[in-house]
């Protein structure tokens, strides 16, 4: 009798740890405690050093005045003539063994187009080309304060890297400073610190969130990471709705997407007020931290990219961070609709009907059309509780927009011509181009459900991007100026661009920052 009881007690003790593990989500082991490798600090000066690595920004084949001494200029002019270098935008010529410089890079910005943008791009490209250069770097070229600040922004965005998980043969890039030369160095530095450095920080936040694996960034940790980024920034209010709060509000559309996951959904609202009591510009982003497709499971090939299916929400948070940290005279509210779309015994099914907080009903025909579902409740919430002057949605919504526009443009849908023009202008100014797509009245008829108010897809094909935008707009009051940006083709860079190293692009942070500053 006593021996049996003792044996039972031992057996119970042996299995207790297994029961304790039942509440652990994931492995419980972080893949890394490291941070990204340090980037080069950015400085400003009125005069250039005579050694190290030198980047000269050139409009044409003529060297800018007084950037190097006479013997070095003579040698550079000979090299320019020999290489037939013309300073065209995007071109470059790398030289070694001239003067006391370890390396000189002539980088073309051209004579046509937006010089400030070309300077930003040339500096970003230089940051990538000189990543492993073991010298201090100088950028010069007769720059005024605005141009010098743009050069700093380009360099900051171009030198971004995501390497915290590298452990084998990890090479730490040099961290010698980069110095931007301008006769207006003081005002250039002030502009960099007051505005552009915050913009670079916002882009980096978006890229980090999208690049992190889904076992690191999920709804709860997305919230934590964004909270940490804002810190104690003035005039910022952060609200987070958890699942009990969303159930109380009747957010069945958002809650339904995450019900198959053990990681609970969240709605994060970050409000920045820098312009009194006026109505804010609202920005609502899709925040699917991983998208398997749910019950309507995606193919396995390429599914890893779905860790970045929250890029819309990430870039909105990056834009609000930029505006708040630069103390912009605007009122904005950024909303991240956060969920993980997983299959499982509790996952929603094709054929289910869900209800949004306004009482509208949705028939789910495909659980892989989930981004529009989380944004339905998020749109209704922000319109009801924040009374915005206008609303912009941003989402990696459809593969159809990739087929239509590839990675050259994001798709723009809007019912308001003024807002559409403002979004287009902001995209042109920042190099984040958009192309306006149609919202035909028949699309809404196509999405009518036999048993609910609307269905989340039209089976059998059709204009997928337009239908998706139509669905999202169905949950926006007709009196609210509204635009939707489908960024599925531009949120991830398969190859490096001038200011975008390969990987998560942070697309939209610059556009939304500019839009908010100029929106009236």
What confidence category does residue 12 fall into, taking pLDDT thresholds of 50, 70 and 90?
A: very low
The rounded Cα 170 to chain-centroid distance in angstroms is 26
101 beta partners: 52
473-492 residue pLDDT tens: 999 999 999 999 999 999 99
8 A C-beta contact, residue 336 and residue 310? yes
Task: Measure the CA–CA gap between 357 and 361, rounded to whole angstroms.
Answer: 10
Q: Which two tokens stand for residue 476?
A: 């926006």
Closest CA to 294 of 335, 240, 352: 352
In the predicted structure, residue 14 carries a pLDDT above the cut 80: no
In what helix (H) or strand (E) does residue 424 lie, and over which residues does it extend? helix 417-430
Residue 307 per-residue DSSP state? G
Residue/partner pairs of 499-502 with CB below 8 Å, 24 or more apart: 499/120, 499/121, 499/124, 499/125, 499/154, 499/157, 499/158, 499/431, 500/124, 500/157, 500/158, 501/128, 501/158, 501/160, 501/161
Per-residue pLDDT at 19:
44
Percent share of the chain, pLDDT over 70? 96
* Beta strands, E only, 258-315: 266-273, 281-291
8 A C-beta contact, residue 313 and residue 223? no
Residue 263 per-residue DSSP state? S
Its CATH class, for the domain covering 42-185, is alpha beta
In the predicted structure, residue 13 carries a pLDDT above the cut 60: no
421-456 residue pLDDT tens: 999 999 999 999 999 999 999 999 999 999 999 999
8 A C-beta contact, residue 332 and residue 283? yes
Per-residue pLDDT at 520:
78
Q: Which alpha helices (H) appear in 130-282, and where do they start and end?
A: 145-158, 185-191, 197-211, 219-230, 243-249, 252-258
Per-residue pLDDT at 21:
54
Of residues 169 and 75, the one with the higher pLDDT is: 75
No. of helices (H) and no. of strands (E), the chain: 16, 19
Its CATH class, for the domain covering 201-518, is alpha beta
The rounded Cα 378 to chain-centroid distance in angstroms is 19
Per-residue pLDDT at 418:
98
8 A C-beta contact, residue 125 and residue 498? yes
Residue 51 per-residue DSSP state? S
> Judging by beta carbons within 10 Å of its beta carbon (0-12, 13-18, 19+), is residue 232 exposed, middle or buried?
exposed
Q: Which two tokens stand for residue 156?
A: 């900051």
Q: Which two tokens stand for residue 438?
A: 């149609």
Domain ranges of the chain: 42-185, 201-518
What confidence category does residue 15 fall into, taking pLDDT thresholds of 50, 70 and 90?
A: very low
Q: Which two tokens stand for residue 440?
A: 């035909």
Handedness of CA 152, 157, 161, 162 (dihedral sign): positive
Residue that has been written with the tokens 């969920």 in this structure? 339
Give the CA angle between residues 458, 459, 460 to the nearest 5°.
Answer: 115
Residue 57 per-residue DSSP state? E
Closest CA to 514 of 420, 427, 435: 427
**Which residues are designated catalytic?**
298, 372
Output the CA–CA distances (angstroms, integers) from residue 9 to 4, 16, 17, 19, 28, in the order listed.
9, 11, 14, 15, 28
In the predicted structure, residue 4 carries a pLDDT above the cut 80: no
What proportions of the chain, in percent to the nearest 5, are helix, strand and coil?
40, 20, 40
Closest CA to 30 of 216, 164, 210, 208: 216
Per-residue pLDDT at 23:
81
Q: Please tell me whether residue 416 adopts helix, strand or coil conformation.
A: coil
Name the average pLDDT for the chain.
Answer: 95
Q: Terminus-to-terminus CA distance in the chain, angstroms?
A: 83
Task: Measure the CA–CA gap between 418 and 281, rounded to whole angstroms.
Answer: 14
Handedness of CA 48, 53, 55, 61 (dihedral sign): positive
What confidence category does residue 169 fall into, taking pLDDT thresholds of 50, 70 and 90?
A: confident
Task: Measure the CA–CA gap between 206 and 212, rounded to whole angstroms.
Answer: 10
Task: Measure the CA–CA gap between 113 and 117, rounded to whole angstroms.
Answer: 8
Percent share of the chain, pLDDT over 90? 94
510-519 residue pLDDT tens: 999 999 999 9
Per-residue pLDDT at 357:
98
């Amino acid at each position: 009798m006593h021996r049996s009881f003792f044996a039972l007690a031992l057996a119970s003790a042996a299995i207790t740890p297994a029961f304790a593990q039942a509440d652990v989500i994931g492995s419980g082991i972080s893949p890394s405690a490291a941070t990204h490798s340090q980037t080069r600090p950015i400085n400003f000066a009125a005069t250039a050093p005579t050694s190290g690595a030198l980047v000269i920004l050139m409009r044409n084949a003529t060297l800018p005045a007084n950037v190097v001494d006479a013997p070095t200029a003579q040698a550079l002019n000979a090299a320019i003539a020999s290489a037939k270098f013309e300073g065209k935008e995007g071109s470059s010529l790398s030289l070694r063994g001239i003067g006391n410089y370890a390396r000189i890079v002539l980088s073309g910005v051209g004579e046509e187009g937006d010089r400030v943008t070309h300077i930003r791009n040339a500096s970003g490209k230089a940051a990538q080309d000189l990543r492993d250069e073991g010298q201090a770097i100088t950028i010069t070229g007769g720059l005024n304060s605005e141009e010098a600040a743009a050069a700093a922004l380009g360099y900051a965005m171009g030198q971004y890297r995501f390497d915290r998980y590298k452990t084998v043969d990890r090479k730490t890039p040099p961290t010698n400073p980069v110095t931007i030369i301008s006769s207006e160095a003081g005002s250039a530095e002030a502009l960099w610190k007051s505005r552009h450095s915050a913009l670079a920080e916002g882009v980096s936040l978006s890229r980090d969130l999208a690049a992190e694996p889904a076992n690191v960034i999920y709804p709860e940790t997305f919230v934590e990471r964004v909270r940490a980024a804002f810190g104690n920034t003035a005039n910022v209010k952060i609200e987070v709705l958890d699942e009990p709060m969303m159930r109380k509000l009747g957010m069945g559309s958002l809650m339904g997407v995450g019900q198959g996951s053990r990681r609970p959904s969240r709605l994060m609202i970050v409000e920045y007020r820098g312009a009194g009591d006026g109505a804010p510009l609202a920005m609502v982003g899709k925040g699917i931290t991983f998208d398997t497709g749910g019950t309507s499971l995606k193919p396995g090939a390429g599914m890893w990219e779905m860790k970045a299916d929250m890029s819309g929400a990430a870039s909105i948070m990056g834009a609000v961070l930029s505006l708040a940290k630069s103390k912009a005279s605007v009122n904005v509210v950024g909303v991240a609709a956060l969920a993980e779309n997983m299959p499982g015994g509790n996952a929603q099914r094709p054929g289910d009907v869900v209800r949004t907080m306004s009482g509208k009903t949705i028939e789910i025909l495909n659980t892989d059309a989930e981004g529009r579902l989380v944004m339905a409740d998020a749109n209704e919430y922000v319109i009801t509780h924040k009374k915005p002057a206008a609303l912009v949605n941003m989402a990696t919504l459809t593969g159809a927009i990739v087929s239509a526009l590839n990675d050259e443009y994001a798709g723009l849908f809007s019912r308001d011509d003024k807002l559409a023009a403002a979004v287009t202008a902001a995209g042109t100014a920042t190099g984040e181009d958009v192309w306006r797509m149609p919202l035909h009245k028949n699309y809404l008829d196509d999405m009518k459900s036999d048993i609910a108010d609307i269905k989340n897809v039209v089976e059998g094909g059709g204009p997928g991007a337009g239908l998706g935008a139509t669905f999202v707009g169905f949950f926006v009051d007709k009196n609210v100026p509204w635009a939707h940006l489908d960024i599925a083709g531009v949120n991830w860079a398969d190859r490096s661009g001038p200011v975008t190293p390969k990987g998560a692009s942070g697309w939209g942070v610059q556009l939304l920052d500019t839009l908010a500053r100029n929106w009236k």
